[in-house]
């Protein structure tokens, strides 16, 4: 009685949850290959009777898909690289130097996680507008290139590198810049990959701030384009919208399939102090 037994009842519940989570996604993929008519009449048929690419072709005619994909990719890439670079530098400063007011600076950094975006969106909008960066993905990316969550995750990862390693390098007279580039960065590779992957996925999906900055359709990212296909009054052409959504979910899914273990590890540690 002390040892664990398998309990099928609980597994049934958990499998139901998996289905509730996954079935909408599977139906979305399936419907994106159905015609509008088929999607109405064979709504619960998971495998389309006559799979068709027509939705994807229609999409490509209606909007400049390639341009939107590259807009989104460019924005997510800039944000990711920016966050990783600034995060690594800041984490190294917090982890390896002692300076006056370090605790306070760290506290302020972490506190920025709790700032609601509505509190900063008006001034940021005004600044980006002044810089003539509206309708430009750089305007979306710029305010987001520093991120306290990333700094915290990198500090945690650096904390696992034995202090004696950097200390012995310092004793050998190696300058900080080289310790950082040649020692810390290579050792942090797994955590850079996972944190970078998380940043990229989040940025790829980002919606709120881009809606403020990107008004011109040619500058749209994919989430904004998808929103245009959803009508609040009903009458949405769902197979069409779903085709666009499928295009949107492929890159994050691919990244997850490759780096799943790294990503889940990073997320797990983010909760533990």
Sites for other proteins among residues 27-86 (CB under 8 A)? 27-28, 40, 43-44, 85-86
CB of 3: closest distance to other proteins in angstroms? Answer: 5
Closer to other proteins by CB, 33 or 229: give it. 229
Report the residue number, 137 or 226, with the smaller CB distance to other proteins: 226
When binding is defined by CB under 8 A, the residue of 65, 183, 217, 256 that contacts other proteins is 256
Give ∠ CA 5-9-12 in degrees, rounded to 5.
120
Q: How far is the CB of 189 from other proteins (least distance, A)?
A: 19
Site for other proteins in 95-134 (CB under 8 A): 97, 99, 102, 105, 108-109, 111-112, 114-127
Nearer residue to other proteins within complex by CB, 33 or 204: 204
Q: Which is nearer to other proteins, 35 or 211 (CB)?
A: 211
Closest CA to 51 of 66, 34, 67: 34
- Least Cβ distance, residue 165 to other proteins (angstroms): 18
158 near 183, Cβ under 8 Å? no
Closest by CA position to 69, among listed 239, 225, 253: 225
- In the complex with other proteins, which residue's Cβ is closer, 2 or 66? 2
Does 160 participate in binding other proteins (rule CB under 8 A)? no
Alpha carbons 178 and 168: distance in angstroms, whole number: 13
Site mask, other proteins, residues 204-243, x = CB under 8 A? xxxxx--xx---------xx--xx-xx-x-x-x-x--xx-
Q: How far is the CB of 72 from other proteins (least distance, A)?
A: 10
CB-nearer residue toward other proteins: 17 or 66: 17
Identify the residue among 163, 175, 185, 218 touching other proteins (CB under 8 A): 175
The one segment of 63-71, 144-152, 155-163, 187-195 that binds other proteins by CB under 8 A = 144-152
């Amino acid at each position: 009685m002390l040892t664990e037994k398998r309990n099928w009842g609980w597994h049934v519940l958990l499998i139901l949850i998996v289905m509730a989570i996954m079935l909408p996604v599977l139906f979305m993929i399936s419907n994106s290959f159905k015609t509008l008519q088929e999607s109405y009449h064979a709504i619960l048929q998971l495998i389309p009777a006559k799979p068709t690419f027509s939705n994807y072709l229609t999409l490509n005619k209606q909007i400049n898909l390639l341009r939107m994909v590259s807009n989104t990719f460019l924005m997510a890439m800039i944000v990711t690289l920016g966050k990783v670079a600034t995060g690594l530098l800041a984490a190294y400063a917090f982890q390896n130097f002692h300076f006056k007011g370090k605790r306070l600076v760290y506290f302020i950094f972490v506190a920025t996680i709790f700032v609601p975006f509505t509190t900063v969106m008006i001034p940021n909008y005004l600044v980006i507008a002044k810089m003539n960066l509206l309708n430009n993905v750089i305007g979306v990316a710029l305010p987001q290139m520093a991120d306290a969550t990333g700094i915290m995750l990198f500090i945690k990862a650096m904390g696992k590198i034995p202090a004696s390693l950097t200390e012995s390098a310092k004793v050998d007279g190696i300058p900080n810049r080289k310790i950082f580039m040649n020692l810390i960065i290579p050792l942090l590779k797994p955590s850079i990959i996972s944190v970078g992957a998380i940043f990229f996925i989040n940025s790829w999906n980002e919606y709120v701030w881009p809606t403020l900055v990107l008004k011109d359709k040619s500058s749209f990212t994919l989430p904004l384009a998808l929103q245009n296909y959803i009508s609040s009054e009903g009458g949405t052409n769902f197979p069409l919208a779903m085709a666009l959504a499928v295009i949107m979910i492929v890159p994050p899914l691919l990244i997850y399939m490759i780096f799943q273990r790294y990503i889940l590890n990073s997320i797990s540690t983010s909760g533990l102090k």
